[in-house]
Structures are given as structure tokens and as C-alpha cells.
């Protein structure tokens, strides 16, 4: 699953990206982090980026695309990725399309989190006022003035991507003003409609609640308890079979013995008759001889 999240600063892209990472087992690719990693690793594109950054210039699109290309070839990006901070412009989107085509990959979805800019500014103003009341330090990049500039930059540079991806039937728009969990559910529904499949391990962890886990444990315990009973039953059955076989064997032996005795008695009787007949005949012969 390869995804781009679009939306102005404060729309909740970072939060939703992390939730998608956990659910789908994919990686979040931040261009800033990738640039720093490439520079630290001393890769060819990293060295180019370092040279440009050292001179205070903006890293060219082709260098950023080269870094993304190297990054998505790594094993942890095999299941997919979420691009964070890229593309920001239409030329960058075109360069990304070309890169994915070259690698025989496709972009699955572009999710736009649509928000009310006035509401965002109001949120920041309230947060800053509360921090100042508590005596907390306010970040320089977390003020209504900075947000106003960032929103203007988003409208001029990044908003054209909405039309670009809409033309290519990749865009899905979600109301980013909803509660975080509602936005998450809406994104999940949209990804399912696009054919997203959760890895088994992530699907199980997302779908199963604590009671379900307890039920499974109880089921395992019951199954384990049944094993000795099943073994005992099998042993009893085996003993019964052995007893039956022994009984049959005894019966057979008795029958064979009876038959042998009967045969022996018959033979003895026959022998006795024969002997008696011989004796009688001899006696008769003797009497005749005397006459």
C-alpha cells in the first residue's frame, strides 16, 4: 500500500500517518529525515544534497527523488509507504510518477484531509494564548502568524496537487475537522474500498479486543484440559481392545484344547477297540486249535 497524505499544516496528517503505519505495517517516509540520513550515510545523492545545503540552497527535485528512490528500495518499505512532505508541487508529483513507473510500482491512494483554515487559525490562537497564560514558552513556528504564511504557501504550491490527482482518479477527500478516531475510520474505509489488505499480524491486533483475547485463552485452556481426558479415553479403549483380544485368544485356546482332547480320546478308544478285537480273535483261534 503506497499512500500520499495531502492537507494543510495542522490538518492532522502526522497523526493519521502514524496510525496507518501501525495498522498496515508500512513505513512513513519523511523527506527531511531521508535527506539527513542520506547525508550521514554519504550516499552519492546524499553528497549532492550536502553540497547544496552547505551553500544555503534548496535541494533540487531530482536529488530528492533520488533519495526517495534509494529509500523505497530498502526491505522495510517492501509492504508499502506513506510519503510525508513529498510531493509538494505538480513537477514533484510528475517526477514521483515516473520513478514509480520505472520501478514497476503504483501509487494506491492520495488522501486529502480537508480542513477549515479559519478554524485552524482559531485553534492555534487559543493554544498560544493558553500557553502564555501558563508562562510556557511558545515555539516560533507555532504561532498564528507563521501558520498564516504556511497556509498561503500550501495554497499556492501544494493545493494544485488536488486537481492533479483528482484527474488521475487517485484522490479521496476526507473531512479533517472530525474527531481523530472518526478521521481514522474514514481513511480505513476508503483504503478498504481501494483494495487495501491489512497484514495478518496487524489485522489481528487491530480487530481483537481484550475480552476476545481472554476468550481465546480460555478456549486454549479448555482444549489443553481436554487432552488428558482424550488420552485416558484412548488408553481405556486400547485396554478394552486388548482385553477383548485376550478373551478371544483364551476362548480359541479352550476350543483347540477341547478339540485335541476329543481327538485323543477318540484315538485311544479306537486303539482300545482294536486291541480288544485282536485279543478276542486270538482267544478264538486258540480254542479251535485245542479241538
The answer to whether position 15 is within a domain reads yes
Q: What is the pLDDT of residue 22?
A: 92
How do the pLDDT tens digits run along the chain, 291 residues long? 899 999 988 888 888 999 999 999 999 998 878 888 888 888 888 888 888 877 777 788 888 898 899 999 999 999 899 998 889 899 999 999 999 999 999 999 999 999 998 888 888 888 888 888 888 887 776 778 888 888 888 889 889 999 999 999 999 999 999 999 999 999 999 998 887 667 655 555 555 544 555 555 556 665 655 555 565 566 556 656 656 655 665 466 566 656 754 675 577 657 755 776 567 656 655 666 665
Same domain, 148 and 103: yes
Domain end marker among 149, 184, 207: 207
Domain end marker among 207, 228, 249: 207
Same domain, 136 and 255: no
Same domain, 195 and 232: no
Same domain, 189 and 257: no
Q: What is the pLDDT of residue 210?
A: 47
Domain of residue 269, residue span: 212-291
Same domain, 20 and 114: yes
The answer to whether position 74 is within a domain reads no
Q: Tally Cβ neighbours within 10 Å of residue 13.
A: 21
Same domain, 228 and 123: no
The answer to whether position 110 is within a domain reads yes
Q: What is the pLDDT of residue 261?
A: 45
The answer to whether position 52 is within a domain reads no
Cβ atoms of residues 113 and 13 within 8 Å? yes
Instruction: Determine the Cα–Cα distance for residues 167 and 107; give it in Å rounded to an integer.
Output: 14
Please state the pTM of the whole predicted model.
Answer: 0.62
Give the number of domains in the chain.
2
What's 201's domain CATH number?
A: 3.40.50.300
Domain end marker among 150, 183, 207: 207
Residues involved in catalysis: 13, 88, 127, 139, 150
Q: What's 96-107 look like in SS3?
A: HHHHHHHCCCCC
Tell me the DSSP string of 123-184.
HHHHHHHHHHHTTPPPPTTSSHHHHHHHHHHIIIIITHHHHHHHHTT-EEEEETTS-HHHHH
Amino acid at each position: 500500500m503506497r499512500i500520499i497524505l495531502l492537507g494543510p499544516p495542522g490538518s492532522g496528517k502526522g497523526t493519521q500517518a502514524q496510525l496507518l503505519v501501525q495498522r498496515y505495517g508500512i513505513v512513513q517516509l519523511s523527506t527531511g529525515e531521508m535527506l539527513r540520513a542520506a547525508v550521514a550515510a554519504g550516499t552519492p545523492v546524499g553528497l549532492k544534497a550536502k553540497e547544496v545545503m552547505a551553500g544555503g540552497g534548496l535541494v533540487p527535485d531530482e536529488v530528492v527523488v533520488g533519495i526517495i528512490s534509494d529509500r523505497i528500495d530498502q526491505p522495510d518499505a517492501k509492504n508499502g509507504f506513506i510519503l510525508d512532505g513529498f510531493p509538494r508541487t505538480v513537477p514533484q508529483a510528475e517526477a514521483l510518477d515516473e520513478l514509480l513507473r520505472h520501478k514497476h510500482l503504483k501509487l494506491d491512494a492520495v488522501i486529502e484531509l480537508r480542513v477549515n483554515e479559519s478554524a485552524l487559525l482559531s485553534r492555534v490562537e487559543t493554544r498560544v494564548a493558553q500557553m502564555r497564560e501558563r508562562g510556557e514558552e511558545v515555539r516560533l513556528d507555532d504561532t498564528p502568524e507563521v501558520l498564516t504564511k504556511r497556509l498561503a504557501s500550501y495554497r499556492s504550491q501544494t493545493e494544485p496537487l488536488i486537481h492533479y490527482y483528482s484527474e488521475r482518479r487517485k484522490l479521496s477527500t476526507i473531512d479533517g475537522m472530525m474527531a481523530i478516531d472518526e478521521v481514522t475510520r474514514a481513511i480505513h474505509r476508503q483504503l478498504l474500498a481501494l483494495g487495501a489488505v491489512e497484514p495478518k499480524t496487524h489485522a489481528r491486533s487491530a480487530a481483537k479486543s481484550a475480552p476476545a483475547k481472554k476468550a481465546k485463552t480460555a478456549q486454549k485452556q479448555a482444549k489443553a484440559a481436554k487432552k488428558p481426558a482424550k488420552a485416558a479415553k484412548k488408553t481405556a479403549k486400547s485396554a478394552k481392545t486388548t482385553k477383548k483380544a485376550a478373551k478371544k485368544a483364551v476362548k480359541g485356546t479352550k476350543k483347540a484344547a477341547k478339540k485335541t482332547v476329543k481327538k485323543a480320546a477318540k484315538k485311544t478308544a479306537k486303539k482300545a477297540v482294536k486291541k480288544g478285537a485282536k485279543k478276542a480273535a486270538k482267544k478264538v483261534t486258540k480254542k479251535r486249535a485245542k479241538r
